[in-house]
Amino acid sequence: MSGTPWKPPPILLAVDLVILTLRSAQLHVLLVERGIEPYKGRYALPGGFLNNADEDLCAAAHRELREEANLNAAHLHLEQLGAYGAPDRDPRGRVVSVAYLAIAPGLPEPEAGTDAAGAAWTPVRDIDSGRLELAFDHRQILTDGIERARTKLEHSSLATAFCDETFTIAELQQVYEAVWGVSLDPRNFYRKVRGVPGFIVAAGAERRTTKGRPAQLFRSGPQTVLSPPLNRPHSGQ
Amino acid sequence: MSGTPWKPPPILLAVDLVILTLRSAQLHVLLVERGIEPYKGRYALPGGFLNNADEDLCAAAHRELREEANLNAAHLHLEQLGAYGAPDRDPRGRVVSVAYLAIAPGLPEPEAGTDAAGAAWTPVRDIDSGRLELAFDHRQILTDGIERARTKLEHSSLATAFCDETFTIAELQQVYEAVWGVSLDPRNFYRKVRGVPGFIVAAGAERRTTKGRPAQLFRSGPQTVLSPPLNRPHSGQ
DNA sequence: GCAATAGTGTCTTTAAGACATTATGTC
DNA sequence: GACATAATGTCTTAAAGACACTATTGC
Least confident of A77-86, A110-119, A192-201: A110-119
pLDDT of A207 reads: 85
Query: Which parts of chain B have pLDDT scores under 70?
Result: 1-9, 110-117, 235-237
Task: Look at A35 and B81; give whichever has higher pLDDT.
Answer: B81
How would residue A114 be classed by pLDDT, with cut points 50, 70 and 90? low
Q: Residue A35 has what DSSP assignment?
A: -
Q: Count CB neighbours of A109 within 10 A.
A: 10
Inter-chain touch B234–A229, beta carbons under 8 Å: yes
Average of pLDDT values for A227-236?
A: 84
Q: Residue B4 has what DSSP assignment?
A: S
CB-CB neighbors (< 8 A) of A13 in chain B: 9, 11, 13, 85, 96
CA B136 – CA B48 distance, rounded (Å)? 13
Q: How many residues does chain A have?
A: 237
CB-CB neighbors (< 8 A) of A197 in chain B: 237
pLDDT of A117 reads: 59
Interval A55-79: pLDDT, tens? 999 999 999 988 888 887 777 889 9
Q: Residue B140 burial by CB count (10 A; 0-12/13-18/19+): exposed, middle or buried? A: middle
Q: Could you tell me if A73 lies within 8 Å of chain B, comparing CB atoms? A: no
Q: Could you tell me if B159 lies within 8 Å of chain A, comparing CB atoms? A: no
Q: Which nucleotides along chain D are within 7 A of a protein C-beta?
A: 3-9, 15-20, 23-27
CB-CB neighbors (< 8 A) of A237 in chain B: 197, 227
- Torsion, CA A73, CA A76, CA A82, CA A84, rounded to 10: -50
Average of pLDDT values for A87-92?
A: 95
CB A233 under 7 Å to nucleic chain C: yes
Q: Which residues pair with A167 in a beta bridge?
A: A218
Please state which CATH number belongs to domain B156-220: 1.10.10.10
Nearest-CA residue to the C1' of D24?
B213
B146 contact partners, CB below 8 Å, separation of at least 6? B18, B20, B27, B124, B179
pTM of the model: 0.93
Average of pLDDT values for A20-49?
A: 94
Chain centroid to Cα B87, Å, comes to 26
Average of pLDDT values for A213-236?
A: 91
pLDDT of B69 reads: 82
The residue of chain B with its CA nearest to that of A97 is: B83
Among A100, A60, A70, A71, residue whose Cα is nearest residue A83: A100
* Cα-based angle B52, B17, B14 (whole degrees, multiple of 5): 30
Inter-chain touch B53–A9, beta carbons under 8 Å: yes
pLDDT of B76 reads: 87
CA A105 – CA A163 distance, rounded (Å)? 5
Per domain, the residue ranges of chain B are 12-154, 156-220
pLDDT of B116 reads: 55
Say how far A211 CA is from D3 C1', in Å. Answer: 8
Q: Which nucleotides along chain C are within 7 A of a protein C-beta?
A: 3-9, 15-20, 23-27
pLDDT of A5 reads: 65
CA B143 – CA B65 distance, rounded (Å)? 19
What kind of fold does domain B12-154 have according to CATH? Nucleoside Triphosphate Pyrophosphohydrolase (3.90.79)
Dihedral over Cα of B18, B19, B23, B27: its sign = positive
Interval A4-21: pLDDT, tens? 666 666 899 999 999 999
Residue A156: is its pLDDT beyond 70? yes
Among A170, A163, A206, residue whose Cα is nearest residue A187: A170
Domain B12-154 shares a fold with domain B156-220: no
Beta strand A95-103 with A12-23 is: parallel
CA B74 – CA B66 distance, rounded (Å)? 10
Q: Show which of residues 84-143 on chain A sit within 8 Å of chain B, judged by CB atoms.
A: 85-87, 93-94, 96, 98
